[in-house]
A and B are shown apart, each in its own frame.
Chain A
C-alpha cells in the first residue's frame, strides 16, 4: 500500500513525499484502500461471527425450519422461505406493472412527459423503507383485513395459497408493500434499456406492416430482454435485503406455510427484531449466519444483474455491423 516502489529506501520516499503530488497520491490511496478494507471487514466479520452455528449445524442450518432459542435450535428455512415468498409476490406484481410503465415511457410518451414521469419515479425510489412500512402497517394491513382478504378468499380460497384466516399482516401484505418499493427500479432500468434499442429495429417491424403494439412487444422488448431481466434481478436484490417495511407488516412468525395470508418472517426482519434481545453466543451467531446468507444471496443477484445490463447496452451498439 505504499506509494513508493519496492526498491526505494525510506530516505527517497521521504524526499518524494515532499513534493505535493506523491503525498497527495499516498493520502488518496489510503482513503481508497480503506474502502476495500471496510468491505473485506464486513465479509470477514460475518464469517467469523457465525462460526458456532456453522460448526454445530453445518448445511442443515439452511434446511431446518426450527427456530427455538430456548432449546438452542436454529434453522434458517422459515426466514429464507419468507424472504423468497415475499420477494416472489413482489415481483409478480411489480414486473408487469413496471415493464408496462417502462414501455409507455420509452415508446409512447413524448420526451417531456417521459422525463417528467421518470422524475417522479426517481423520487419514489428515494422514499425510505420505514415510510413504506408506516403506510403498510397503518393502511395496507387494514385494507388487507377488510377488503383484499375477503375478496380473494371467497373467490380463490380453494387454492392453498389463499386459504386461512387473515390478521392483515402476512406474506401477501409484505409482498404488496415490497412491490411498491421495487417498481421504480424496474421502470428506471427498463426504460433506459428500451430507449437504447436502435430506432431501426422498430422501424423495420413497422415497415413489415406491424401495429405499434406488435413492433413494441415482438421486436423492441425482445431486443432489450437481457437488460430488462437485469432490472428484475436488481429489483429482486433490493427486495431480498429490505428490512423495515417487511418487518412492520409480515407478522414476525417463523413459519413455513403455503397460505399467503399467514404471518411469516424474513431474514432481515428476524435480525431486526431479535438481535438486541438475543442472549447466548449461539443465538447471536445464528443471526449473524442469517446475515451471511442474506449477503450471499444479494451478492450473487447483484452480480448477475450488472452483467445482464452491461450485455444489453453493449448489444445495442454492436449489432448489425457489416
Chain B
C-alpha cells in the first residue's frame, strides 16, 4: 500500500468517524434538554405544583394548577375545531373531490402549515379577540385549532387513500352506498394512521406559545367558562423563565418538564401505534 492510499484511507476513517460524532451530538441535544429539565425541574414537581394557583409576584411557592387546566381546555377546544375540519376535509379530498379542487385545497393546507405561528396569533386576534373586545380561551383554541388543520387534513387524506381499492369495491358490491362504505369500511381501515396524525397534531400545538400571547393571553387565577383569558403551560413557562425571580425559574423548569414529558409521551404513543402496523397493509 503506497503512501497516497494510506492517506486516503486515513481521511476516510477520520471523516466517517466525524459523521458519527455529528450524529451523537445531534441526538445528544435531546438528552441534554431532558437532563436539564429533570435536574432543574424534577425536584419542583410536587403536589403543590399541580394543585395550587400562582402566588403573587415576589412570593415563593404556589403552583400552576390553572395553567394545566387552561392548557387542557385549550387543547380540547382546539381539537373540536381543528380535527373535524381536517378529518372531513380529508375525506372529501380522498373520496369525493376532483383533482383540481383537491390540489387547491392541498395547496391551501400546505400554505397554512407554513404560516409562522405568531402570524396565526395576530390573525386569531383580529377575528376572535377584536370583535368581542377581550381575550378568551375560545380565541386561543381557535388559533391552535387552525394549526391542527393541515396535519390532520393531509394525514387523513393520505391514510384513506392507502386503503386498497378492493376493500371499497367489496363493500359497494354488497350494495352499500358510498358514504356507508366510507364510514363503515374505509375509515375504520385507516383509523390507526388518522389517530396517530391527530395525536401528533395535538402534541405540536400543546407546546405552542406565540399564538396564545394575543388570544388566550394569560390569567393568574382560574378562568371560568370559555370567554375569559386563561393561563396555559407554555405561556407560564415563557413569563416565568424571563422573570428575575429564582423561584419562578424553578417553577418554569418544572412546568417545562411536565409539558415536554406530556408531548414526548404523546409522540411515542402515536409512533408506536403507527409502527404496530397500519390496520390495512399498504399495497
Physical interaction between A and B = yes
User: Which A positions have Cβ atoms within 8 angstroms of B?
Assistant: 19-21, 23-25, 27-29, 31-36, 38-42, 45-46, 49, 96-101, 103-105, 107-109, 117, 119-124, 126-135, 137-139, 180, 183-184, 187, 211-214, 216-217, 237, 240-244, 247-248, 268, 271-272, 275-276, 287-288, 291, 294-295, 298-299, 302, 306
Q: Let me know if A24 and B210 touch, CB within 8 A.
A: no
List, in ascending order, chain A residues with CB within 8 A of B263's CB: 126-128
Given contacts A32-B93, A32-B105, A128-B259, contact A275 B213 (CB under 8 A): yes
B12 A39 Cβ-Cβ under 8 A:
no
Report the minimum CB–CB distance from B152 to chain A (whole Å).
Answer: 10
Residue on A nearest B255 in the bound complex, by CB: A134
Q: Does B141 contact A (CB under 8 A)?
A: no
Closest CB of chain B to A300's CB: distance in Å? 10
Whether B146 pairs with A38 at a CB distance below 8 angstroms is yes
Known A29-B96, A104-B19, A108-B19; contact A287-B122, beta-carbon cutoff 8 A? yes
Q: Mark B140-161, 1 if CB is under 8 A from A, else 0.
A: 0000001001100100000000
Q: How large is the interface on B (under 10, 10 to 19, 20 to 34, 35 or more residues)?
A: 35 or more
Contacts of A298 in B (CB 8 A): 114-116
Q: Which residues of B contact A99 (CB under 8 A)?
A: 22
Complex partner residue of A126 from B8, B25, B88, B264, CB under 8 angstroms: B264
Known A131-B33, A243-B118; judge A32-B92 contact (CB<8 A).
yes
Q: Contact check, B259 vs A108: say whether CB atoms are below 8 A apart.
A: no
- B209 with A31: CB separation less than 8 A: no
CA distance A38 to B241 in the complex (A): 34
B15–A213 CB distance below 8 A:
yes
Residue in contact with A32 in the complex, picked from B88, B123, B260, CB distance below 8 Å: B88
B177 lies within 8 A of A19 (CB): yes
**Beta-carbon contact of A120 and B238 below 8 Å:** no
Q: In chain B between 243 and 257, which residues have their CB closer than 8 angstroms to a CB of chain A?
A: 249, 252-253, 256
Tell me the smallest distance from the CB of B49 to a CB of chain A, in Å.
16
In the complex, number of A-B residue pairs with CB atoms less than 8 Å apart: 264
Q: How far is the CB of B154 from chain A (nearest CB, A)?
A: 10
Q: Is B182 an interface residue (CB 8 A)?
A: yes
Assuming the contacts A19-B177, A32-B93, A134-B253, asked whether A295 and B115 have C-beta atoms less than 8 A apart, the reply is: yes
A91 to chain B, nearest CB (A): 15
- The smallest beta-carbon distance between A89 and chain B, in angstroms, is 16
B85 on the interface (CB 8 Å rule)? yes
Q: CA A217 – CA B207 in complex, angstroms?
A: 38
Does B242 sit at the interface, judged by CB under 8 A? yes
Residues of A within 8 A of B127 (CB): 41, 45
Is the Cβ of B242 less than 8 Å from the Cβ of A45? no
B80 close to A (CB within 8 Å): no
For A32, what are the chain B residues with a Cβ–Cβ distance below 8 Å? 88-89, 92-93, 97, 101, 105, 153
Instruction: Give the docked Cα–Cα distance between A295 and B111 (Å).
Output: 10
The residues of B that contact A46 with a CB separation of less than 8 Å are 119, 123
Whether A138 contacts B118 by the Cβ 8 Å rule is: no
Contact B18 A36 (CB under 8 A): no
Smallest Cβ-Cβ distance to B10: which chain A residue: A211
Q: Which chain B positions have C-beta within 8 A of A108?
A: 16, 19-20
Which chain B residues (71-105) contact chain A, with CB distance < 8 Å?
Answer: 84-89, 91-93, 95-97, 101, 104-105
